[in-house]
Structure 1
């Protein structure tokens, strides 16, 4: 049970980074400038609306996005007659004619109001107009709903195609080579993601995902947790009348059923989506490890392990909104999940002496259960003041969850005679409370200066009870309690934070954003049986800054800096050792400390009116006390892997995203990441460095009769770790879609790795005490058929403020 009295008080001093004279009223020159504010019919600002200015002959003279407060400013090179065309999801595209003369070389629009869309647009029309990759302020956006090969897939498949990201066969996500990142759903924390990002992404259907926001350098408004950056998955949510969809998918590896529905009436709106999924996962690995002493080989271990598991699971999310008037909005949401994610294995182990003589050989069978369930309950309230852009948001969330896992290990010697048995049962209960307040305050009447500030508290508690039984040599069928490996681990983590962020449109070409965040953290835990305790309290000051320069011809240059931290979570600290394979033990580390990262980024982007999109980033990161997986071996050749703070690292590199149309029917987009990583460990006297890269290409061709064809391929190069390296790997797929616009139906047939029964990757580790090589094989060859039917009005988006606990370490599972 969470003890609120253990929360420590903290006073956070909110600092402004720039001198106060920058707040002075600085009016634009107004020369050849078109300005205004985009609002909906209720008078609310419309952020990120697409604005284009057309000449009389139909050619484009300028383009821009509206700001968060709906304001815009576009520079026009010549006088003449023009038309301002404004479009945004959920609104009708609306033209506004105007004239610039030598006497009046600027124009300010007053009272722009976009009418809500009422027509039922065909889905194929939406796909044809919207780019797959877009740039918005502070982020890249991957419009996943326009990618036909995502049909019938999971969130892991979606992120695999997003810019700057890389996803391995298990669903572990990395950004620029780092797995220390935050994954949010609609801007809010998810206990399901925090438990295991890879598992959660494989449980989330691609059909509910509208887009993915990739934020490589988060501002002070975001929690400081997540060294690599933030990923925000935006789901489809409706607000008009009754609408919904049904999706059914089947393949040789999985079967899924995904319903979603939304409705609105008067001041109420509701959306619901569900997910039923049966997933089969199969992999194998061949391990060869040699123990060393003074550089000489001692004991060699050879293992072959096969995993073949079926993982049934389900999830559902319900969101309800109530808007009594134009200034106030209430929201309530529930996201619940449950399932079983076992890791049953069959293994053969052989031990050899230095001269090659077999000293031991046995088979092992491991039966596991990994049942879990949890939920997020959230409440939100937003009030808008009379001053445009001034608003207050209050948010609260409660996230309880439980995990019940166990394994039974049986070892068999010659003649399949039982020689050892071990049982491990673990029950973990988690509770988390989050309270958050955010306030936006315009500092001038023109919306040039906006001050954002907020406070947040996150109160976490976890209780893990684990018990181990093991047999003795004389009676392997009988197991006895192991008191030295059984205990109750109680853990608490409380975070108090505050931030201030100043956004400044200094001119039509310059935008500056500067802020600071303070976070206080209190960690404590104890073992009830052993009586040992630990605690760690620390404070982090997190400055952030961004400077953007708009260049001619739809170009932008951005320079940004931020500081990030990664805190350990219960799964990293839990000392309950997984010894289901007694030659390879995995355990937590209660003494783990947080890691700190300084990172800077220079970005150039081009978003041309002809559809050409280019985004290029140069980045640098310096990591202190990095949290890494570290493996050691003892004199018997038994390895133990846990997370440690044993090495810092430096990393620099570039990532490039490009999207263009070869013809009106043929589009191509590609992402490339290249980085250099250098590990340096003083305690281990170890240095390891090297280059890494990955590239993917995604292309779509639209055929007659509402057919579309899509091809996707990805290659990841050799990458280094502190103790070794991983070899290259690849992934490819093809999809054909047939749309039936009149019936709003879609059928998609996809082939995944059709020419390879499995995909391999080798992991090598070389240390002073051992040398090992693991050849992993992942069986993913699949043919997938998906049927999708939409009914009612097309889904129209409505942004809501949500809790975003992006401060919990979600490193990939080892």
Structure 2
């Protein structure tokens, strides 16, 4: 009931504000202006001529259309007034007709046949080039235009994200922004249920050729969900606002990965339809791993020498429909699905040494992970007469599944029985959201809204030991989460190039988790907590090129199913793993000071920031229980972290065809465990430790459609309270040639050409326990890419009535490498 009352109060306050500030509209009759445009000499219709309508005396167009193949046009939903009609077409001078009047008694005006004379100058060829830089530095975000990146073609979303400023991706696909892995990844401003549970695997299944750009928001306002302490990454897919039919096909073949993609775009009058489908397949790759652990308390040594061959596949598709009923009402619906998985098989040689015995044996293991789901979104936008005054109602249903099956067969031992296990997880999310925007004056804007999320999560695990079902180890676990939120954001444009934005968000979260298996003795989890989330940003611009900005934001990070799932994964018999249903959310507060400037073609963006995070969620490796020899890994709210950092991004073009870019992020990790977990941190992991992410890129544009590019990535080892994860770095090269009058291109790229494998060394140290691992991941690859664009289209400006694509559920902590899901 509290959630319902909160939503009603927010909506009523927004409508009340509208009435108070005079935002209402009087009813009126709407009409249309129509006509036919022809060439005055040939008398043939002009197809795809642009028709713009202005208020008489006005300078900005209020609407526009394009003529069809018979030269006809129709401007709908015009209130009675005097208008100016402008007709433009390549090779013809602009023709203006003023006034063209509609009245209450005659709301429709058919202008009949309009003749346009061709220009007296001959126009042999027109090349319209709109060069977008690879990286854009905007006031509230950094934008990486992936479609301009040569070396990303033929790869996946993980390959693209590794090049985005401030973003780092580890070998398992874990994504972090400025060192914080609690990042919300959206697709076209919308969440995906699959992203919350299988982020690394889903990103590897997402084709790079479907990505237009990637936006990074480090200090989201109160309008966004409070989740995601590291910020927001928004993946924008390729979609063209065009009139006509167009499409593209692309693909790549390589030594590591192969992929293919297809896109189709249709726009006719007020109806837009977009469809896409893509998939990829990774050749089987063998990965050797050596693990060692020593428990000094019980004098137990565990060694493993393993080799696993991993094979991946994935495909994804989407369909999108938008329809503008008129200038004031529009709907937009999207359905996106994905399916993927990987199979791993191999063998492991084990050695366990205790004071009383030495045991050596071998296992053959096989595992299969399948993930997938769909997201269906429906938006309705109502736009009022006042520019920027609108209300958007959104609904979303996200369904995602993850299924893990594994089998272990042991040799030369009688202590390790054969085992088979399955673990299936299902997540259904139902979301309703209302966003209201009211520009009270041209200097003051109000935004308000409310939202409700229901997450219904279920995990079902079955375990067989020596082909016998074990009910005492199997489990059915249900976890439900309900979030209700409301927000208000005020934006002020102040004198002397100052601007101010302040906002507040209030969220109520209720959780209920319980197991149907009484024998496992899982305690039910019930809790309700309240979160107040303020945000603040103030900026000042000097000379139109330099901007200083100070921001404050508070964020929380709720754990997702991978962290909560109590299923015991025994795929590694020397180190079992399981989730923790009692986890509380992380809470972080960040203060950031940012400076940005551009000088001609050069861009500089620099920030310093401080972040405090409480109730850190980290993996914890624990000592064996009495009488056991295997370690245990789970998740805990282990402590807090104070971090200071500096990030820098720069782009310079010393000569016209050559551009250099670099992104550097340096920050400290100073994790301090709570008293009950103090034993997990040893002296070598205490105190502030410096970490960094560095990216460098160079692009050379050559004559005759050639583009060459190179890049390098270097990430320092990442720290945790208990240990250190491996560093990561490699280089890549690529070249592309445009052909067929720029309708197609072919390319060649390579990653890590000078080193076949990249070594990753991990070390975990706590009181009485040291554990290390070394894995050699095959990374060298060479691939050929191609793309082809088809269709006859005319590009248009973005439709201001298109439903606003804002984030719905940008809120769950995701990732982790529990079990087979963490394999590369």
Q: TM-score, normalised by structure 1?
A: 0.82
Selected match of 2:613 from 607, 620, 623: 623
List per-residue Cα deviations over 1:550-608 (Å, max 9, x = no partner).
02360000000010000112221111111011111110101111111011110000122
Residues 306 and 202 of structure 1, relative CA distance in 2, 3 Å threshold: same
Selected match of 2:171 from 152, 169, 180: 169
List per-residue Cα deviations over 1:199-222 (Å, max 9, x = no partner).
111111111111111000100010
Q: Hey, what does 2:63 align to over in structure 1?
A: 42
Selected match of 2:478 from 459, 465, 490: 490
List per-residue Cα deviations over 1:108-150 (Å, max 9, x = no partner).
xxxxxxxxxxx99979x44xx3222212231111111111111
Q: What is the Cα deviation at residue 493 of structure 1?
A: 0.6
Q: Hey, what does 1:249 align to over in structure 2?
A: 252
RMSD: 2.8
Q: Hey, what does 2:637 align to over in structure 1?
A: 645
Q: Hey, what does 2:785 align to over in structure 1?
A: 786
Q: Hey, what does 2:487 align to over in structure 1?
A: 499
Structure 2 distance, partners of 1:588, 1:527, is: 13
For the residue of structure 2 that corresponds to 1:483, the secondary structure is: coil
Selected match of 1:442 from 425, 439, 443: 439
Q: Hey, what does 1:810 align to over in structure 2?
A: 814
- Tell whether 2:490 aligns with 1:469: no
For the residue of structure 2 that corresponds to 1:244, the secondary structure is: strand
Structure 1 distance, partners of 2:566, 2:613, is: 25
Q: Hey, what does 2:424 align to over in structure 1?
A: 427
For the residue of structure 1 that corresponds to 2:417, the secondary structure is: strand
Q: Hey, what does 2:115 align to over in structure 1?
A: none
Structure 1 distance, partners of 2:810, 2:767, is: 38
Contact (CA 8 Å) 2:562, 2:815: kept in 1 or not?
A: no
- Tell whether 2:241 aligns with 1:263: no
Q: Which moved more, 1:741-750 or 1:783-792?
A: 741-750
- Larger-Rg structure: 2
- Tell whether 2:190 aligns with 1:188: yes
Q: TM-score, normalised by structure 2?
A: 0.81
For the residue of structure 2 that corresponds to 1:162, the secondary structure is: coil
- Tell whether 2:535 aligns with 1:535: no
Residues 464 and 269 of structure 1, relative CA distance in 2, 3 Å threshold: same
Q: Hey, what does 2:579 align to over in structure 1?
A: 588
Matches within 5 A, 1:290-301: 290-293=294-297, 298-301=299-302
Residues 549 and 629 of structure 1, relative CA distance in 2, 3 Å threshold: same
Q: Hey, what does 2:468 align to over in structure 1?
A: 480
Residues 150 and 654 of structure 1, relative CA distance in 2, 3 Å threshold: same
Matches within 5 A, 1:75-90: none
Q: Hey, what does 1:362 align to over in structure 2?
A: 361
For the residue of structure 2 that corresponds to 1:591, the secondary structure is: coil
Q: Hey, what does 1:758 align to over in structure 2?
A: 757
Selected match of 2:287 from 259, 283, 295: 283
List per-residue Cα deviations over 1:706-745 (Å, max 9, x = no partner).
1111001011123321112234321211001111151511
Contact (CA 8 Å) 1:244, 1:259: kept in 2 or not?
A: yes
Q: Hey, what does 1:33 align to over in structure 2?
A: none
Q: Hey, what does 1:544 align to over in structure 2?
A: 535
Matches within 5 A, 1:703-722: 703-722=702-721
Q: Hey, what does 2:199 align to over in structure 1?
A: 197
For the residue of structure 1 that corresponds to 2:813, the secondary structure is: coil
Residues 507 and 526 of structure 1, relative CA distance in 2, 3 Å threshold: same
Q: Hey, what does 1:673 align to over in structure 2?
A: 665
For the residue of structure 2 that corresponds to 1:376, the secondary structure is: strand
Q: What is the Cα deviation at residue 325 of structure 1?
A: 1.1
Q: What is the Cα deviation at residue 268 of structure 1?
A: 0.5
Q: Hey, what does 1:335 align to over in structure 2?
A: 336
For the residue of structure 2 that corresponds to 1:604, the secondary structure is: strand
Q: Hey, what does 1:58 align to over in structure 2?
A: none
Q: Hey, what does 2:153 align to over in structure 1?
A: 151
Residues 724 and 750 of structure 1, relative CA distance in 2, 3 Å threshold: same
Q: Which moved more, 1:488-497 or 1:716-725?
A: 716-725
Q: What is the Cα deviation at residue 419 of structure 1?
A: 5.6
Residues 41 and 144 of structure 1, relative CA distance in 2, 3 Å threshold: farther
Contact (CA 8 Å) 1:561, 1:599: kept in 2 or not?
A: yes
- Tell whether 2:444 aligns with 1:454: no
Structure 2 distance, partners of 1:468, 1:656, is: 50
Matches within 5 A, 1:732-743: 732-740=731-739, 742=741
For the residue of structure 1 that corresponds to 2:6, the secondary structure is: coil
Q: Hey, what does 1:239 align to over in structure 2?
A: 241
Contact (CA 8 Å) 1:220, 1:500: kept in 2 or not?
A: yes
Q: What is the Cα deviation at residue 290 of structure 1?
A: 0.8
List per-residue Cα deviations over 1:269-324 (Å, max 9, x = no partner).
0111101211245433211111111xxx7122111222222122211000000012
Q: What is the Cα deviation at residue 10 of structure 1?
A: 5.3
Q: What is the Cα deviation at residue 695 of structure 1?
A: 0.8
For the residue of structure 1 that corresponds to 2:755, the secondary structure is: coil
Selected match of 2:656 from 664, 674, 678: 664
Q: What is the Cα deviation at residue 491 of structure 1?
A: 1.1
Q: What is the Cα deviation at residue 438 of structure 1?
A: 0.3
For the residue of structure 2 that corresponds to 1:452, the secondary structure is: strand
Structure 1 distance, partners of 2:563, 2:415, is: 33
Q: What is the Cα deviation at residue 523 of structure 1?
A: 0.5
Structure 2 unmatched runs, 5+: 23-56, 66-89, 95-123, 819-824
Contact (CA 8 Å) 2:200, 2:815: kept in 1 or not?
A: no
Q: Hey, what does 2:215 align to over in structure 1?
A: 213
Structure 1 distance, partners of 2:390, 2:3, is: 29
Residues 726 and 794 of structure 1, relative CA distance in 2, 3 Å threshold: farther
Residues 805 and 639 of structure 1, relative CA distance in 2, 3 Å threshold: same
Structure 2 distance, partners of 1:516, 1:713, is: 40
Q: What is the Cα deviation at residue 343 of structure 1?
A: 3.7
Q: Hey, what does 1:768 align to over in structure 2?
A: 767
Q: Hey, what does 1:61 align to over in structure 2?
A: none
Structure 1 distance, partners of 2:415, 2:472, is: 24
Q: Hey, what does 2:695 align to over in structure 1?
A: 696
Residues 345 and 450 of structure 1, relative CA distance in 2, 3 Å threshold: farther
Q: Which moved more, 1:620-629 or 1:424-433?
A: 424-433
Q: What is the Cα deviation at residue 379 of structure 1?
A: 0.7
